[in-house]
Amino acid sequence: MAETFRAILISRDEAKRQSVDVVELSPDDLMDGNVDVTVEATTVNYKDGLAITGKSPVVRRWPMIPGVDLAGTVVRSDDPRWSPGDKVVLNGWGVGETHYGAYAGLARLKGDWLVALPERFTPRDAMAIGTAGYTAMLSVLALEQAGLSPKDGPAVVTGANGGVGSFAIALLARRGWEVLAVTGRPAEADYLKSLGASEIIERAELSEPGKPLGKERWVAGIDAVGSHTLANVLASTKYHGAVAACGLAQGMDLPASVAPFILRGVSLLGIDSVMAPLEKREAAWKRLAEDLDQSVLDAIATDIGFDDLIGAARDIVDGKIRGRVVATFDR
């Protein structure tokens, strides 16, 4: 195990002014946990961007190492389920918010939080997927568990250029769905169609206040946006359709009416990726290993290094990131 390692540390002074620095830490500086993992790859999620920029109160303990996703190798374990040399992946569990996270060479974690890395994925592949792909897969599984299938009609995906949206398009298309992609960047239409989208919808069609009920346009939806967009998606969902809600890029509010629920029997499915139980995590990663083509991962992911993490975190908040950003650590 390395004597020291680099980490990104978010701190706050007495006036609650936030600073972000690259520091050298030792294993003794880490928080409690029964498994140590050498971090080989991580990624940049919207939540990581909010933590580093301070634009939303993501961090709830100070100081904090950000980063909610990691993949790597176990180097020490007091948990009988894990042994040195095991390849693991972690998503969520408050890591990067209340527990030191992924933007460091070493992470000390609880064994309960870890999932075995599927054999077909490298750590880099796992972080190309990250919480975004894992959340998209949870959303697809929820729609299937609601009894929906491609024969029932098309599916809509909002925030299509983001990580969750990109994976949602690819995963739905792989299972035979006709996918309508909602984006504020129509210039990215070719990219979205390469993932499997059959039609591009301008974000403005759904992002403004709308009617309680609209024309029935889709039977399923995966929404990472919230606010008026989710309200309008619900309003245009077909009879007995369902929408999986997994994000809040436009806002936490939901200015909707009960009309879609009581007049069309529409279901709103909440997707929680942070505290999802192990069986759901394992099911999602198993399906990801089955359904994701390597070409999709390579199309969605952009590779960076540790030194690029802070800049990429700022870019994702500014809407400058397409798909996924993967940071691999040099050893």
Helix boundaries (H) for 146-188: 163-174
- pLDDT tens digits for range 259-284: 999 999 999 999 999 999 999 999 99
Helix (H, G, I), strand (E, B) or coil at 218: strand
- pLDDT tens digits for range 105-114: 999 999 999 9
- pLDDT tens digits for range 184-221: 999 999 999 999 999 999 999 999 999 999 999 999 99
In order of start, what are the domains of the chain with their CATH numbers?
A: 5-117+297-328 (3.90.180.10), 131-270 (3.40.50.720)
Number of other residues whose CB lies within 10 A of the CB of residue 2: 12
The strand pair at 18-25 and 5-12 is best described as antiparallel
- Mean pLDDT over residues 5-23, rounded? 95
- Mean pLDDT over residues 312-320, rounded? 92
| pLDDT of the residue at 57 | 87
- Measure the CA–CA gap between 169 and 161, rounded to whole angstroms: 10
| pLDDT of the residue at 1 | 59
- Mean pLDDT over residues 240-267, rounded? 96
pTM here is 0.92
